Amino acid sequence: MSTNKYIATPKRTKEILTKYKFFFKKSLGQNFIIDANILENIINHTGINKDSGVIEIGPGIGALTEQLGRHAKNVLAFEIDQRLIPILEDSLDQYDNIRFIHQDILQADVKTSIKDNFNDDQDVHIVANLPYYITTPILTKLLQENLPVESITVMIQKEVAERMAAKPSTKSYGSLTIAIQYYTTAEVVMHVPKRVFMPQPNVDSAVLKLTIREKPPVYVADENYFFSMVQACFSQRRKTLRNNLTNYLSSEYDKETISTMLDNIGINGMRRGESLTMEEFATLANSFYQAKHN
């Protein structure tokens, strides 16, 4: 099939939108990709092959789905917009290895869907062009559910991708960075200009590849406590660790006690959250957690 026949061209996209009288819903953050070369490039970064299973989130009119169907063994696509299901089934009817589910991914039992649709020995990947407004809740859900997947490759807002893949002591580094990198290794693999979307979004995008870790890179005594302490350390970025923790733990400790506790684990309370590595955050959280439970 020549690239001119693919869904991901301006001409084909317009034809499909006209045929079905489809209009974009701003509330769903719908932006369809109209460049097949971009999609081919994304798929080259995912690590999928002819034996892979793929979960896609938000297939839209099927531009990325079509390419996934060509490269993977089978594809399961979750679409929240009921209007798109008949369009997808019609436009991609020649692909018998693609299945659509009309469901909000945030409500879906993804683990059971994987079990029901893929073989036990199959490598499974998640690939998606995610709506900007709901990127973080979706990724948080997928990572916390401990799914049997090898990677998650998503096209998201460039700024958010850079935050998720950031290094310590940079402007982009924050609590979101720690949350993502606790579960995965994160890498921005390509940038995507806004002109390859219809309609054009206001910002540029990036493709973020998250490779699932077999286990987190640090030991934490309690994950919820660890993440809440990380968030507290970034709650006001310009403030020192000591000040942020004093605000957060005001019902438990005074500023002097917090300074002493930080000194005892070798972390200077005058530092800011963005300067701490994940290992230092783990040390900090574990120390305060143990003090709380002694």
108 Cβ neighbours under 8 A, 6+ residues apart: 78, 101
Under 8 Å CB-to-CB from 291, ≥6 apart: which residues?
261
Angle of the 175-183 helix axis to the 135-144 helix axis, nearest 10? 40
Q: How many CB atoms lie within 10 A of CB 78?
A: 21
* Pairwise CA distance, residues 221 & 227, whole Å: 11
Annotated binding site: 31, 33, 58, 79, 104, 129
Please report, in range form, the residues annotated as the binding site for S-adenosyl-L-methionine: 31, 33, 58, 79, 104, 129
240: nearest Cα among 204, 267, 215, 218: 267
